[in-house]
Amino acid sequence: MDSGKQRRFAKRGKGFLGLTRADAIRYFFGGNASLAIFILLLICVFLFKEAAGFLPGHHAGLTKWRRSGQEFVDILNVAVDGHTRLGSALNIGYFAELNATSKAEQQQLFSYRAVLQRVKGTVRGPAGRLKKLLKEFTEAGEKLAEAEQDLAGADLDPARQASLRAALPGYRAVIAEVEPRIAMLEERIAEGVAEALAGDEVWEGQNLVADDREAVAEAICDQFEAAEQKHPWVAGLEDFVREKKAERTPQLAGFKEAVTAFRNAIRPVKDLISPLREAASELKQQAIAAESAPKRKAALLAGAEATNDLAERARKLAAAEAVVVAAPPYDEVAEGFYAETAAFEAVVADLRKEIDAAVEALPATGELADPSARENLERFRNSLADYRESLDRAVARAKDWRHDEPYPQVKSFLVFLIGKEWITNSSWHDFYGLMPLFTGSLLISMIALVVSVPFALGAAIYVNQMASRREQNLIKPAIEFIQAIPSVVLGFFGIMVLGTLLRDVSQVSWLAWVPGFPLQERLNILNAGLLLAFMAVPTIFTLCEDALNNVPQAYASGALALGATRMQTILRIIVPTALSGIIAAVLLGFGRIIGETMVVLLVAGGKIQIPDFSKGIGVVGEAAHTMTGIIAQETGEVDRGSLHWRALFMVGLVLFSISLAVNWGAQIILRRFQRHGT
Amino acid sequence: MSDQEDRTGNPFAAPSRHADRRASRERLLAVLFRLLTYAILACAMGIFLGVVIRGAPVIFQAQAPFINTDFFTQLPETLVVYEDAQGEVRKLSATRFEEMRSANPDRQFSIVDSYSYSGGGILGPLVGTALLIAICMVISLSVGIAAAIYLNEYSSKGRFMAAVRLAILNLAGVPSIVFGLFGLGLFCLAAPNLVPVDEIADRSIFSFAIPFTSAAISFEGWGACMLAGGCTLAIMILPVIITAAEESLRAVPHGFREASLALGATRWQTIRKSVLPYAFPGMLTASILGITRVAGETAPIMFTAAVAHKDKLPWIGDDPEASWIGRLLEFFFQSVQALPYHIYTVAAKIPQSDYNRDMQYGSVFVFMALVFFFAALSIWLRARIRRKLHW
């Protein structure tokens, strides 16, 4: 019956709106299919829409940074920052050397204090209550004693006597009630302390041999029992350390003087900068206020217009009058900055001299006993040349600096793309530099790939080429299950289990040779990378297996017929043939890893800083932040439409572009593979 | 492959020590591949066991119902840790604590600590996740299956089709957090919404009043709500659904279509009567697979739908007088709790202590169990279909 209608429609040729029914159905389905393109376009449009205005806003911000002289201050500050780093290396070196003769004892003391803090933390609740109870107890006791004394002493008037007598049972009751509770709490605390000490948690991160551990535990127990009294072991250690230090100090007087001289040398520079800093800050505030001034004025005037209350109107008009629309005194303040350039050059010249003198006075590296001191001093000497150069550059840049030179548009874009700082909500200036996030993302992804590719590829080869049917039926669904594990669960696992496990393993002494071990933090790049590797395995495995599966059977047969062994066939024929498919699989796995959010948000550590690559592979022990993580963390908290908000959408755009590029690359490689396979 | 076989199987290979060494090296390699494979499974097992060992005690108990019903019938609440008169430290969820305190006014309690979201149960997040999944699947299945039908049944090769396929592939690779940003930009901040004329938001891109009413259509978005989250998830999962649905359509033999067309059926009749019924089981599997992925996602709903705190279930309205349409709107345009977001909250956003371990591991256990249930269902269904349908 339907077809009859259909034929009628067909005969007439035109249906609704000139469409036959069949065409309408076709277009309906076609419309749904083209939705994919539409959505992709929409994603672009909406990311661009929200990110739009970032570049102009960013440029305006940087322009303000320059015109208000903040840039100038930041240039000068390079001298201070570099100096601080060098000075702290020296300082660490000096103290390492000073402590060289009592290092083990200090370590014990340090561990003692750290563990004591943690143990205190575990019994914080009962201890707090005990303190309260003890106070109650002493107060009641004092009052009781007082009352008794009064009663026993001179003759009182009967009324007072009666009231005192009446109060006595109350005090006694309080004491009677509180006393057992105190005893109970004390017992509980003692138990809690013993329990905490028996467990491993409080010892985490303390490298103590068994004897020392025992001593520390005993000292802590005693500390709790006889509060406020130092355990003789601790007191002995402290005395020993003090003695050794006193012995050492005169020997190292020269060293110390040099260090102090070096660290004091920066004072004049700091003194020079600090008023400039204030001036720049104030000017920037003025600039920001001036920007919104016309709007505020207009709003006040409009409000005055709208109100009928005369007094209110007068008040608003006056307020509008008070709003200054004038441009901030850029040129005037800048003159002050220019005037300081010569002074800066002079102080830097002085600084150089003093540094040279201080370096002269430093002991030679070979003279030092402590390895850490030697290392720090070595590092100091190595970076000294860099610092001197940076001083030259700072002077040159300060001379060249012009507040009214327009900030180049391209440069402001580059500041976003390769800027090394992502600093937001700062009272000085917000920097939106992608690099810390990008390096974090990239580093974590690389670790994940390096770990997951061998596993996934090995498993794919095994399942596809060697496993029995039975094994295949076990492994393939199991790997599908892995794919189904939600990322937030993996992140949770990373926080709760893997982080602690990794840190504990890294503290095993015979693993100390591994770069980056022992790990300082639980949440770090390595932890996130391992979890992401686990997440990427199913993707890479499935795609690799497909690629291996697509190799024509004839290739393998041919190789086997020529006398190749099974393994030779796999490694020399099948894998190379499927190589482009495998590369595409790795690329797609990379795309999946770099776009993963929850694991890195929970586990990467959330430190917005370019990881310190000077440690070599040890860099994996550092905490980092990622592009996906920053979006997830900050988007919910910033004002809509603010520069920060737009910056986050820019990061989203970068991620989107990366994912498109990765996909596109994989497509190209796969297409070549298909040509090869057929 | 033993070296014996190797030598006999290959008449040209010289029987030498070299071959021996090669054979043992190859065996070693095979063992290595096998080890790699099972190492993956061992890791999975480790995670799974870790969650079960810590999570199961929260869910199951030794007494009568054997399941901790509170955990499934209460909303997340603040957990109160208090010390009773005997000096014992106990914990209770906030409502229970208040109940007990009002029941025993003369007893002394001192509150030691309290932890947000760590008490009560996970009913709210469970319901929220179910609703998000439902909305997402309704949208993505209707669009995805229609698109797959076009791609497999109607389309001919051409530039447009190549573009569509490329778009689908690229869409599949877009990070979920980018979908979240997109959903925030489109559904929460720019989608058309029906609002009273005098309440049009400043951010509205474009708005016009509907004649003769006091309402206006304003492109100001829906705010963070269930519908926005569902739509975002639907768009994210769309490529997966399209690809899987197309695959199950492709699995239906060509003969079916040809026979139907030869009998004079139109193309649509052919699709409806002799293609779709046979592709349906495959699509079902695909949709369940989609559910497992959608259920696990946190990033796309973070800013589009999910909230940490909600003190009522979604279907309980604020205003009992509201008309049914008002209620319906309120229902879809409210934010929800979601299980993955709840886990994120209790794992990372509140201070950690031993007292919130139960909530953490319990939620994770239930979540894993749910996701694994759906994954197992889809694997089982697929195996069944493969066994049953032979063409």
Which of A8-12, A270-274, B242-246 reaches the highest mean pLDDT? B242-246
- Given a cut of 50, is residue A520 above it in pLDDT? yes
Read off the pLDDT of residues A639-653 as tens digits, 9 standing for 90 and up. Answer: 888 899 999 999 999
The confidence score (pLDDT) of residue A412 equals 87
Distance between CA atoms of residues A430 and B54, nearest Å: 44
- Residue A632 to residue B239, Cβ atoms within 8 A: no
Note the pLDDT of residue A10.
Answer: 47
- CB contact (8 A) between residue A492 and residue B176: no
For residue A270, the tally of other CB atoms under 10 A from its CB is 16
Q: At A423, phi and psi to the nearest 5?
A: -120, 120
Nearest to A492 among B171, B360, B374 (CB): B360
Residue A479 CB burial class (10 angstroms; 0-12, 13-18, ≥19): buried
Q: Which distant-in-sequence residues (6+ apart) come within 8 Å of A583 by Cβ?
A: A669
Question: Residue B85 has what pLDDT?
Answer: 66
**What is the pLDDT, as a whole number, of residue A276?**
86
- Kindly report the nearest CA distance between residue A474 and chain B, in angstroms: 10
A593 CA: distance to closest CA in chain B (Å): 9
Of A144, A206, A203, A213, the closest CA to residue A175 belongs to A144
pLDDT range class, residue A193, cuts 50, 70, 90? confident
Asked if A660 lies within 8 A of B173 by C-beta distance, the reply is yes
Nearby residues of A667 by Cβ (< 8 Å), 6 or more positions away: A584, B166, B169
- Residues in A touching B379 (Cβ below 8 Å): 477, 480
Contact B303 A565 (CB under 8 A): no
Query: Which position has the token pair 């297996």?
Result: A545
* Amino acid letter, B206: F
**Set of chain A residues whose Cβ sits within 8 Å of the Cβ of B89:** 125
State the helix-helix crossing angle for A210-225 and A232-251, rounded to 10 degrees.
Answer: 120
Please report the residues numbered 566 through 605 in chain A whose beta carbons come closer than 8 angstroms to any beta carbon of chain B. Answer: 566-568, 571, 588, 591-592, 594-598, 601-602
Residue with tokens 């940076």: A390
Residue in B149, B277, B234 with CA at minimum distance from that of residue A30: B149
Q: How confident is the model over A426-443, as a mean pLDDT?
A: 90
Q: Do the Cβ atoms of B219 and B188 come closer than 8 Å?
A: no
> Residue B64: CB partners within 8 Å, gap ≥ 6?
none
Q: Which residues of B touch A487 (CB under 8 A)?
A: 296-298
A477 by Cβ neighbours in 10 Å (0-12 / 13-18 / 19+) ranks as middle
- pLDDT, mean of residues A401-405: 82
Interface of A with B in 437-476 (CB under 8 A): 454-456, 458-459, 461-463, 466-467, 475
Q: Do A26 and B374 touch (CB under 8 A)?
A: no
Phi, psi of B113 (to 5 degrees): -165, 160
Query: B348 contacts in A (CB within 8 Å)?
Result: 491, 495, 601-602
Q: Which of residues 119-178 of A touch B (CB under 8 A)?
A: 125, 129
Query: CB-CB: which of A466, A571, A597 is closest to B176?
Result: A597
pLDDT of B250 over the 70 cut: yes
Tens-place pLDDT, residues A526-539: 999 999 999 999 99
Chain B residues with CB inside 8 Å of A27's CB? Answer: none
Query: Which residues of chain A neighbour B44 with C-beta distances below 8 Å?
Result: 478, 481-482, 485, 534
A262: which DSSP letter? Answer: H
What burial class does residue A593 get, using C-beta atoms within 10 Å of its C-beta: 0-12 exposed, 13-18 middle, 19+ buried?
Answer: buried
Cα–Cα distance measured from residue A119 to residue A81, given in angstroms and rounded to the nearest whole number: 38
Question: Would you state the pLDDT for residue A674?
Answer: 65
* Model pLDDT for residues A85-135, shown as the tens digit of each residue: 888 888 888 888 888 777 778 877 888 888 888 887 777 777 777 888 888
Q: Which candidate, A588, A582, A630, A455, places its Cα nearest to that of A530?
A: A455
Measured distance between the N- and C-terminal CA atoms of chain B, rounded to whole angstroms: 36
Q: Which has the minimum average pLDDT: A200-209, A332-341, B100-109?
A: A200-209
- Region B177-205 average pLDDT: 85
Flag if A37 and B364 touch (Cβ within 8 Å). no
Cβ B344–A565 below 8 Å, yes or no? Answer: no
- Reference B342, options A499, A524, A486, A483; nearest CA is A486
Q: Which of residues 499-538 of A touch B (CB under 8 A)?
A: 534, 537
Closest residue by Cα to residue A604 from A544, A526, A520: A526
Tell which A residues from 167 to 196 touch B, by Cβ distance under 8 Å.
Answer: 181, 184-185, 188
Q: Which residues of A touch B372 (CB under 8 A)?
A: 481, 484
For residue A669, the distance in angstroms to the closest alpha carbon of chain B comes to 14
**Rounded Cα gap, residues A147 and A632, in angstroms:** 65
- The mean pLDDT value for A507-534 works out to 83
Q: What is the 3-state secondary structure (H, E, C) of A391-416?
A: HHHHHHHHHHCCCCCCCCHHHHHHHH
pLDDT at A223: 73
Mean pLDDT across chain A: 84
Find, among A127, A407, A77, the residue nearest to A273 by Cα: A77
pLDDT score at A461:
93
At A594, list the tokens. Answer: 């770099």
CA–CA distance, A263 with A344 (Å, rounded to integer): 18
- The encoded tokens of residue B75 equal 């909303």
Domain boundaries, chain B: 1-39, 78-115, 123-388
Sign of CA dihedral B376, B379, B382, B388: negative
Place of tokens 């199951």: B60
**Record: contact B268-A534, CB cut-off 8 A:** no
* Any B CB within 8 A of A649 CB: yes
Which of A149-158, B24-33, B202-211 has maximum average pLDDT? B24-33
pLDDT of amino acid B2:
44
Answer whether residue A417 shows pLDDT above 50: yes
Torsion-angle region of B264 (φ positive above 0: left; ψ -120 to 50: alpha; else: beta): left
Q: Which of A9, A23, A29 to mutate to test the interface with B (most CBs of B within 10 A)?
A: A29
Domain A475-627+657-677 has CATH 3.30.70.580: no
Return phi, psi of residue B387, to 5°: -75, -35
CATH 1.10.3720.10 fits B123-388, yes or no: yes
Distance CA B23, CA B31 (A): 12
Longest dimension (CA), chain A: 128
H/E stretch holding A423: strand A422-423
Q: Which residues from A are below 8 Å from B268, CB to CB?
A: 21-22, 25
Question: Which residues, numbered 50 to 69 in chain A, qualify as contacts with chain B under a Cβ-Cβ cut-off of 8 Å?
Answer: 50
Residues in chain B with CB shorter than 8 Å from the CB of A466 are 30, 33-34
Contacts of B113 in chain A (CB under 8 A): 125
Contact B117, B215 (CB under 8 A): no
Closest C-alpha among A437, A350, A424, A369 to residue A642 = A424
Taking an 8 Å cut-off on Cβ atoms, the answer to whether B364 and A489 are in contact is: yes
Cβ pairs bridging A and B (under 8 Å)? 281
Cα–Cα dist B123/B80, whole Å: 19
- ipTM for the whole complex: 0.89
pLDDT one-digit tens code per residue, A450-493 = 999 999 999 999 999 988 889 998 899 899 889 889 999 999 99
Of all residues in chain B, the one with the smallest CA distance to A657 is B174
Q: Which residues of B touch A563 (CB under 8 A)?
A: 9-13
Signed CA dihedral, B66, B72, B74, B78: sign only: positive
Supply the pLDDT for residue A9.
Answer: 46
How far does A125 lie from chain B, in Å, by closest CA? 7
What is the total residue count of chain B? Answer: 391
pLDDT over threshold 80, residue A508: no
Across-strand partners of B91? Answer: B81
Q: Exposed, middle or buried: residue A249 (CB in 10 Å: 0-12, 13-18, 19+)? A: exposed
Give A581-629 pLDDT, tens digit per residue.
899 999 999 999 999 999 999 998 888 888 888 777 888 888 999 999 9
Instruction: Give tens-digit pLDDT for A226-280.
Output: 666 677 777 888 888 888 888 888 888 888 888 888 888 888 888 888 888 888 8
Half-sphere exposure of B163 (CA within 13 A, CB side): 11
CB contact (8 A) between residue B151 and residue A33 = yes
Q: Which of B275, B289, B244, B296 is nearest to B380 (CA)?
A: B289
Mean pLDDT, residues A28-38 taken together: 86
Q: Which residues contact A86 (CB under 8 A, 6 or more apart)?
A: A262, A380, A383, A384, A387
Taking the CA of residue B202 and the nearest CA in chain A, the distance in Å comes to 12
| Structure token digits, residue A259 | 């260090």
Q: Where along chain A do its domains lie?
A: 2-51, 71-283+327-412, 475-627+657-677
Are B371 and B295 a contacting pair, CB within 8 Å? yes
